[in-house]
Amino acid sequence: MKILPTITSPAQLRGMEISQLEVLAGEIREAICEQVSKTGGHLAPNLGVVELTIALHYVFDFAHDRLLFDVGHQCYPHKLLTGRYPLLSGLRTGKGMAGFPAPSESAYDLFSVGHAGTGISTAVGMARGDTLNGEAYDPAKRPDGRRVVTLIGDASIVNGVAMEGLNNAGTLKRQFLVVLNDNGMSISKPQGAVAQYFDRLRMSHVYADFKRGAKDILRMMPGGSLLHEAYHKMGEATKAMISEGAWFEHFGIVTVGPIDGHSLPALIEFLSEAAEFDRPMVLHVQTVKGKGFQFTERDASKFHSPPAFDRYEERGTTNCRVELKSKGRTFTAAFADALADLMARDDRVVAATAAMPDGTGVSKSLELFPDRVWDTGICESHALDMMAGLARCGFKPFLAVYSTFLQRAFDQAFQEAALQGLPVRLCLDRAGLVGGDGAVHHGFCDVALLRTLPGACLLAAIDEASLRAALAFMAGYDDGLSAVRYPRDVVSERFAGGTPAFELGRARCLTPRYEVGAPGAVLPDVAVLAFGTPAIDAMVAAESVGEGLAVGVWDARFAKPVDTGLIAALLGAGVPVVTVEDHALIGGFGAAVLEAAQSLGLDTSGVTRLGLPDAWIHQDPRSRQLAEAGIDAAGIGRAVRVAAGSSARGVLGGAQAARPAGPTPAHRVR
């Protein structure tokens, strides 16, 4: 009988033998791999922390103590040990287990987390809060108090927020444990000087000498006298593994390790001693990302967060062949080729990404142009500032970043790029709803943030051809910051014949019969202005509403500046306008249309805005999320019918209402 399905509480682990825990570890790995092969999800990060997670729950009681995750993409074993095995079959859907910690799911999850670097700071806050509440662990006064543990990776710990957290953690005068999961990987290979330090540390063989200098190390550290006193309370294993010369010492934090993160006996021994230590400590644990399967250990980057895949076992061997399932060519793949082509044509183009070379598609250019492309590691703020510096030197910098992670660099977009008038170019992958990753990763506010910046130019692509055209436009846009957004989705082949070049502030009509100002064009009953890929669904909606209703569809292309000439022509003629965007309604493209219409003195009562509501949309397939927000083809179709029904022109029907479209107003933005 399998152990995993019987686990309803971590308390059950404490009654098991080590051999049983090791069997459980194998079952957890197999269960996670089997499920991710069906739904996609974070595979390698979770496989690497199985024993570590078991040991943490074996030693600590996180129904009482505090466990805080950094990033959170390594939380699957934690969830399976805290009674959520029945939810695994619905992983990353509304009916199952979220792919990141979720307090709405379990009291064992303290924060919803999906961005790196935050775990130490939130843990410091809880440590201070428990102290103020008189609930903190104290070996003399309150041995039953709450302990605080945070789990962070070696790539995340160099993030600026993590550094700030460590700086404050060193001032705590109570138990506080940082478990450093060192697997030598971020999403891909970590970057920077600290990563090189960890590389050197892994290759060092001087650990046997640590015990000899431990007392002297503690005496010389900030708060050394207190720590020296605490030394006598340490277990012998911990004393022997105090890491001499560890850079955490400068924060006033004792560092222990590195220890084997896949040895349950070693983990339990060290964690048990760390639980009794009454000062901040870093426990350095070495793990293997993707542990347990040859294909994940061999290529942990590829299997960091793969789509669904098929696994074929080779009979008579321990090997297996894996084939990833693909629904088609992705925007990320399209961007990878487009950027590489752009860099080949223009040697002033440079590019960077923040720890996402594969996820953003920059890896292709990184290989082709290693002197002009950089992976900065998990530090979006630094990456954007570095791009500003390159722009000041006359280069054309492109920063590829997920929309959700751009939020971490908004201050730099403001201060070092836009305020200086520097042409830094942002390529925003995963814009809009992202599917199974859920609310922590939705890119729903990039337009609202960047639209506030004077001189900014904001674009969206609807397919591969328009993405290439957008990048070409941005390469020549030198008046300030620019950005193009595109979703985590496959590219449409609907307009495979190509696309016209982008013109500043000008939309593209996808229904030529209604092209404003074109010879023989007529006005539609309803106009749909779509920003980004919702234009494809708008075309489907336009075709589905019936022949009695004339629907014109425009690929808006720009959220700043919007096409004021088109807006004036449509609203001035009384045509109802439906705006659609895969972005929050607050501050988004539709809001920009309303603001432009108001500034032109136009009646905005005929404008209907579709977009993401003022509410969180949780994990589910992207198609369901679009339907929930009402911005899929069906939702757009409903909105078009309602808009037509409220308009006198719409009631007449397309053929009777059609009249020549007037010329494009002279005040069209150029």
Tokens standing for 5? 């399905």
641 three-class SS: helix
φ, ψ for residue 125, nearest 5 deg? -60, -45
Distance of CA 457 to the CA centre of its chain: 23
178 in the same domain as 268? yes
pLDDT at 258: 87
Last residue of a domain, one of 485, 516, 551: 485
Is the CA virtual torsion 365, 370, 376, 380 positive or negative?
A: negative
527 in the same domain as 429? no
Q: How many CB atoms lie within 10 A of CB 115?
A: 21
355 found inside a domain: yes
For residue 418, the 8-state DSSP code is: I
State how far the Cα of 142 lies from the Cα of 150, in Å rounded to an integer: 21
State how far the Cα of 560 lies from the Cα of 565, in Å rounded to an integer: 14
577 bridge partner residues: 527, 607
520 in the same domain as 470? no
Both ends of the chain: CA-CA distance in Å? 71
292 found inside a domain: no
546 in the same domain as 512? yes
379 in the same domain as 265? no
Per the prediction, the chain carries an average pLDDT of 88
Tokens standing for 436? 């199974």
pLDDT at 591: 98
Pairing, β 396-402 against β 349-353: parallel
Please name the helix (run of DSSP H) or strand (run of DSSP E) that holds residue 321, with its range, or none: strand 320-324
What is the per-residue DSSP string for 124-166?
A: HHHHHHHHHTT-B-BTTTBTTSB-EEEEEETTGGGSHHHHHHH
Q: In which order are the strands placed within the sheet that holds 425-429?
A: 373-375, 349-353, 396-402, 425-429, 482-485, 457-460, 558-560
295 found inside a domain: no
Tokens standing for 638? 């409903």
User: Tell me, what amino acid is at 664?
Assistant: T
Peptide bond into 258 cis (omega under 30): yes
Tokens standing for 350? 């440079």
667 found inside a domain: no
Task: Write out 204-241 in H/E/C secondary structure.
Answer: CCCHHHHHHHHHHHHHHCCCHHHHHHHHCCCCHHHHHC
In sequence order, which ranges of 393-475 are alpha helices (DSSP H)?
403-406, 410-412, 446-450, 464-475
275 in the same domain as 238? yes
49 in the same domain as 14? yes
Last residue of a domain, one of 227, 253, 286: 286
559 found inside a domain: yes
299 found inside a domain: no
Tokens standing for 337? 């080729």
Is the CA virtual torsion 131, 136, 137, 143 positive or negative?
A: positive
Q: Does the active-site annotation cover 408?
A: yes
Catalytic residue among 105, 249, 273, 380: 380
pLDDT at 548: 83
Q: Is 278 left (phi over 0), alpha (psi -120 to 50) or beta?
A: alpha
Burial of 191 (0-12, 13-18, 19+ CB in 10 A): buried
Pairing, β 577-584 against β 526-531: parallel
516 in the same domain as 447? no
Please name the helix (run of DSSP H) or strand (run of DSSP E) that holds residue 664, with its range, or none: none
Is the CA virtual torsion 107, 113, 114, 118 positive or negative?
A: negative
pLDDT at 481: 98
**Alpha carbon separation from 365 to 23, 335, 428, 528 (Å, rounded):** 44, 10, 17, 37
State how far the Cα of 52 lies from the Cα of 32, in Å rounded to an integer: 16
Q: How many residues does the chain have?
A: 670
Pairing, β 558-560 against β 425-429: unpaired
State how far the Cα of 166 lies from the Cα of 282, in Å rounded to an integer: 10
φ, ψ for residue 430, nearest 5 deg? 55, 30
370 in the same domain as 259? no
| Residue 253: half-sphere exposure toward Cβ, Cα within 13 Å | 29
271 in the same domain as 177? yes
269 three-class SS: helix
Residues of the chain with pLDDT under 70: 185-246, 314-319, 647-670
Burial of 276 (0-12, 13-18, 19+ CB in 10 A): middle
297 found inside a domain: no
CATH number (domain holding residue 233): 3.40.50.970
Catalytic residue among 79, 174, 289, 468: 289
Residue corresponding to tokens 């703020």: 381
220 found inside a domain: yes
pLDDT at 658: 44
629 in the same domain as 530? yes
604 three-class SS: coil
Number of domains in the chain: 3
Is the CA virtual torsion 284, 289, 290, 294 positive or negative?
A: negative
Rg (CA), the chain: 28
CATH number (domain holding residue 636): 3.40.50.920
Could you tell me if 109 and 149 are in contact, meaning their C-beta atoms sit under 8 angstroms apart? no
Nearby residues of 159 by Cβ (< 8 Å), 6 or more positions away: 116, 117, 378, 379
Last residue of a domain, one of 221, 255, 286: 286
**Alpha carbon separation from 567 to 150, 514, 525, 529, 556 (Å, rounded):** 52, 14, 15, 9, 11
Q: Give me the domain span that covers residue 534.
A: 508-657
Please name the helix (run of DSSP H) or strand (run of DSSP E) that holds residue 295, with its range, or none: helix 294-298
**Alpha carbon separation from 127 to 133, 369, 372 (Å, rounded):** 10, 46, 44
pLDDT at 192: 53
State how far the Cα of 292 lies from the Cα of 48, in Å rounded to an integer: 8
For residue 39, the 8-state DSSP code is: H
Catalytic residue among 146, 372, 396, 408: 408
265 in the same domain as 126? yes
